[in-house]
Structure formats: C-alpha cells, structure tokens
A = this chain, B = another copy of it.
Amino acid sequence: MHAIMAEPLDTLQTPCLLLDEARLRANAERMRTHLAGLGVALRPHLKTAKSLEVGRIAMASPEGPAIVSTLLEAEYFAAGGVRDMIYGVGIAPAKLPRVVAIRAGGTDLSIILDSLEQAEAVAAHARASGDAIPVLIEVDADGHRSGVAPGDADTLVAIGRTLVAGGAKLRGVMLHAGDSYSLRDPEALAAAAENERVAAVTAAEALRAAGLPCPVVSVGSTPTARFARDLTGITEVRAGVYMLGDLFQAGVGSVAVADIAVSVLATVIGHQRAKGWIIVDAGWMAMSRDRGTARQAVDQGYGLVCDQAGQPYPDLIVADANQEHGIVALRKGSGASLPELPIGAQIRILPNHACATGAQYDRYHVLDGENRVTATWPRINGW
C-alpha cells in the first residue's frame, strides 16, 4: 500500500480505475456476516481484485484462506504472506513444478482436478518431488463447465484412490455453481445454492463411503453464496466478485448498484450533439469488451455513467465503444435528458464485470468517503 496525501480526482490522468474503500469494506463485511450466520468458513476468491490490499480486507486473516485463478496470483499472494490457497483451475501437469515451488516456500497450496489422467500425473509428481500435493476433486454442480458428475461415485472413488495410493493427498471436493449467473429470481438462486450443496454432499459421501478422506467440502459463486439459506455438510464457501460488485451481479440481484466499489474515471473529449452522443476517453480497452448485461433485463452497454462524485445519471450509459473511445448516450427510449458535460469534465463509469474491467489496469486509485484519492494499490495481471 502506497499511502499518499489525499488528492482530488481532477489530479488523475484518465482513464484509470477507482476503488471506493468504504464500499469494499462493507461488501466484505456483509458476506462475512452472512456466512458466519450459516456456520461456514469464507474462502475469498482473489481473481477479481488481484490485489494483496483488497485480499487482506476480504480474508479472515492475512494468511488466508483464499482461492486464486492463476499460478501468478498464487505466487504473488504467497509472497505477500498468504499461507492457505487453492489454485482453482483444473491442473495441467506442466504446471506442477510451479505448484511444488510455491508449496516449498511455506504456502499450503492445493490444486483441483476432475480426471484419472490428472490424478495419475499428480501422484507421479508427488512421488518424484517428495511433496504430498493436496488435491480437491472438482465436481460438476450444474453442467456449467468442468467436474465429475456428483452421482458418478465410481470415477470419484477411482480418482481418490489413485491420489491416496500414489502419494498425493485427497483433501476433499469443490464445486462452482456457474449457471447461477444466468438467474435473477431470489427463489431460483436459493434453489441453485441448494442444488450446489446437495451435489457437494453427495460427492463427499461417495468418497467417505469408500473409506477415503474428505475433510473439505467447498462450494461457491457470488450469487449462491449470497442466496444460500442452509449449508449443512459444507465446510467452506468461495466467492469473489461480491467484494467489488458490478452491474452484472446487480442484474442477478447479488449486489446493489449502490454497493459497486469499482469504477472507471474518464474525461469528456468530444460531442456529436445531433446524435446525442458524448465522447469520452474510456473505450473498450478501459472498460473491457465484457457485454454480459446484454443478456440481462437491463442492458448497461459498456457501463453505467455517473458524475465525478459517483452518482449515476438517469439512463446514461456507454452505449458503444471503440478501443479508446466511449460513446455515452441515453438508453434507448429514455425520457431523461442528456447532462451538460463540457470538454474536460470527468465522469465515472460502473463496469459490467469487475473481473474483466479490473484486468485492464495495473493499479487501483483508492478513494475515501469524500472521493479523495488516498492510496494506490497495485494489481497483478497475467499468468
């Protein structure tokens, strides 16, 4: 954390990424309280924020636990003192030497996999390196992506036995209810969370019935974490986007627009008045190409436009974008009027997707409650 004298937003070159620290802390606290009430541990996913400073606000302790999406994140957070991590993408055998190197540095990094081929490769590497690499078997909650079917006890047990017999460690099962992102109704989200829970417990029981260990039963996504009502049998919940929030999660209903802690600061660089366009210096490079809200009830274009202080203008969105140009316009059919924003005026844009927009930046400019910049926090990108 690089503390600086609090400075006004006008001193920043645009586009740049802003982080409202009070909103971040409130989002972290809300999820912590919710899951504590359900009696499970929170393992924050650091793939959204990719920042040690943000991670320390979200994690139970500076040592973790946490989950990451790349080995570069694992290396970065391990160097920052995080001692309990999952690398949450199915392991490629060629990545095992990096996993073992991180573990040799004193971080309990576990990996995930969903095939016998991977289990055999991990067991062979565990034997060769003398490190009993801990493994979670990825289980498929909803057909969204990867994972062994929760009812496929034969495959689960075969993978578990291969790991244990081969010198690796079977730590448990993990699931991600990715299809919850397409929902919106709270009842449907609660049902998705329950479906994820049942799939996890089913898989864990299959391993235990075969005499295999399964101490960890890990589930999670921001929507199911937020809408889960009962987590019996689950030991930990993972979620990440909730810390920062974004318009897509607001469309799902798992955060409120007023809780979104990240925004892009941009400057007006032109007008096409006959078309009702305001041109700003934040295009898709600054916002990312993410158009996830296009499939939701409210299409937010490339982002929702706010004044410099962060207050949304009615119906004003980044309607289209080129690489370094955003075209700001009223939502189609809106009865609102275009604000008068002269050349040089600053605006703030709430992003569709915090993970995608954040990845375009190497730092956050951190704001206090009066929209002054109090610090710069670095982000890690890449693999």
Contacts and interface: CB of A to CB of B under 8 A. Distances in A.
Interface string A16-38: 10000000000000000000000
Given A47-B323, A117-B343, A146 B361 contact: no
A245 to B, nearest CB: 16
A14 B382 CA distance: 10
B360 A323 contact: no
A361 B344 contact: no
A327 B145 contact: yes
Copies in the complex: 2
B289 A356 contact: yes
A263 interface: no
A291 B291 CA distance: 9
A242 interface: no
Interface stretch (A167-175, A196-204, A264-272, A331-339): A264-272
Contact of A355 (B117, B323, B355): B323
A69 B146 CA distance: 39
Given A115-B271, A322-B178, A359-B360, A279 B146 contact: yes
Interface residues of A, number: 61
Nearest to A357: B289
Interface stretch (A93-101, A128-136, A225-233): A93-101
A114 B343 CA distance: 11
Contacts of A14: 92, 94, 383
B324 A281 contact: no
Interface string A152-184: 000000000000000000000000001000000
A279 B90 contact: yes
Nearest to A353: B289
Interface string A278-292: 010100111011110
B267 A92 contact: yes
Given A13-B94, A269-B89, A289-B290, A279 B362 contact: no
A220 interface: no
Interface in A260-319: 267-272, 275, 279, 281, 284-286, 288-291
Contacts of A279: 90, 145-146
A94 B344 contact: yes
A60 interface: no
A124 interface: no
A90 B270 contact: yes
A91 interface: yes
A342 interface: yes
A15 B383 contact: yes
Contacts of A324: 47, 69-70, 89
Nearest to A12: B94
A98 B13 contact: yes
Contacts of A374: none
Contacts of A121: 343-344
B114 A270 contact: yes
Contacts of A362: 381-382
Given A13-B98, A16-B383, A289-B289, A117 B323 contact: no
A13 B145 contact: no
6 contacts: A13-B71, A13-B383, A91-B269, A145-B279, A285-B359, A289-B291
Given A117-B344, A323-B355, 6 more contacts: A14-B92, A90-B325, A92-B269, A114-B270, A146-B325, A178-B322
